[in-house]
């Protein structure tokens, strides 16, 4: 067998393994918006544990493998309920059967106040006069939501930690369980420069963005956030 063939086979095996791992075990994800500030910042790149919420076929798997149901407070990655294409990150605040309310900018679960001030904030955006009509309407919707709403079976109620800048279950309702992809686990890189917005703007724009990232890697990387656990 030639060395070229050996290298080719090794490369194909590596590609297959990485594809398997990315599909079923660990996926990468980056933060494009400020809806989870200050927990997650724009430019944070995450590892997503896709295995933790996976189905367990037999009792032995449940004992041996590190999987569990979604818990209240988990930061989850899921497929958008609105377009079924975009991946979204929010915090799960309501489990099946929970009753969710917001009163005076305070979250209540089953009638009891939740002290989540350590990770969340209700702060109106600065320079309100510069907001568009659409943005003002969304802010009014956030302020108007009170509930109560009871979370159905096989659904979750999710909200962004930056409660004044998050399009979440207050808008599109409860999240079906089958749309959940995994749990945000670790920030492996945090970049303070320009990040992709998910739209394709042409090859030239992409090349300029890659060049800017390479040049700013040392100076714009938030080194203090590297390998920080997501909580």
User: DSSP for 133-166?
Assistant: HHHHHHHHHHHH----EEPPTTEEEEE-SBTTS-
How far is it, in rounded angstroms, from Cα 101 to Cα 94? Answer: 10
Asked if residue 185 lies in contact with residue 49, where contact means CB atoms within 8 angstroms, the answer is yes
Strands 75-79 and 87-94: antiparallel
Determine which one of 35, 166, 169, 190 is catalytic: 35
DSSP helix/strand/coil, 127 = coil
How far is it, in rounded angstroms, from Cα 12 to Cα 28? Answer: 21
CB atoms within 10 A of CB 178: 9
Asked if residue 169 lies in contact with residue 157, where contact means CB atoms within 8 angstroms, the answer is yes
| CA–centroid distance for 225 within its chain | 16
- Residue 90 known to be catalytic: yes
Contacts of 199 by beta carbon, 8 Å cutoff, 6+ apart: none
Angle (CA) 229 230 231, round 5°: 110
Asked if residue 44 lies in contact with residue 190, where contact means CB atoms within 8 angstroms, the answer is yes
- Residue 67 known to be catalytic: no
Determine which one of 33, 90, 169, 185 is catalytic: 90
Residues labelled catalytic: 35, 90
């Amino acid at each position: 067998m030639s060395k070229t063939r050996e290298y080719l086979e090794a490369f194909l095996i590596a590609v297959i393994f990485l594809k398997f791992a990315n599909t079923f075990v660990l996926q990468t994800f980056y933060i494009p918006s400020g809806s989870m500030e200050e927990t997650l910042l724009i430019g944070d790149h995450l590892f997503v544990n896709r295995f933790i919420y996976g189905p367990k076929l037999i009792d032995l798997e449940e004992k041996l493998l590190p999987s569990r149901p979604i818990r209240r407070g988990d930061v989850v990655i899921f497929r958008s309920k609105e377009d079924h294409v975009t991946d979204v990150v929010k915090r799960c605040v309501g489990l099946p059967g929970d009753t969710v309310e917001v009163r005076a900018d305070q979250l209540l679960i089953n009638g009891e106040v939740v002290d989540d001030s350590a990770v969340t904030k209700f702060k109106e955006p600065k320079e309100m006069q510069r907001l568009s009509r659409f943005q003002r309407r969304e802010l009014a919707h956030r302020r108007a939501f009170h509930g109560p709403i009871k979370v159905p079976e096989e659904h979750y109620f999710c909200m962004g930690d930056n409660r004044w800048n998050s399009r979440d279950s207050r808008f599109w309702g409860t999240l079906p369980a089958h749309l959940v992809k995994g749990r945000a686990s670790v920030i492996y890189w945090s970049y303070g420069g320009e990040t992709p917005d998910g739209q394709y703007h042409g090859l030239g724009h992409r090349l300029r963005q890659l060049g800017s990232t390479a040049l700013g890697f040392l100076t714009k990387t938030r080194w203090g956030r590297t390998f920080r656990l997501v909580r």
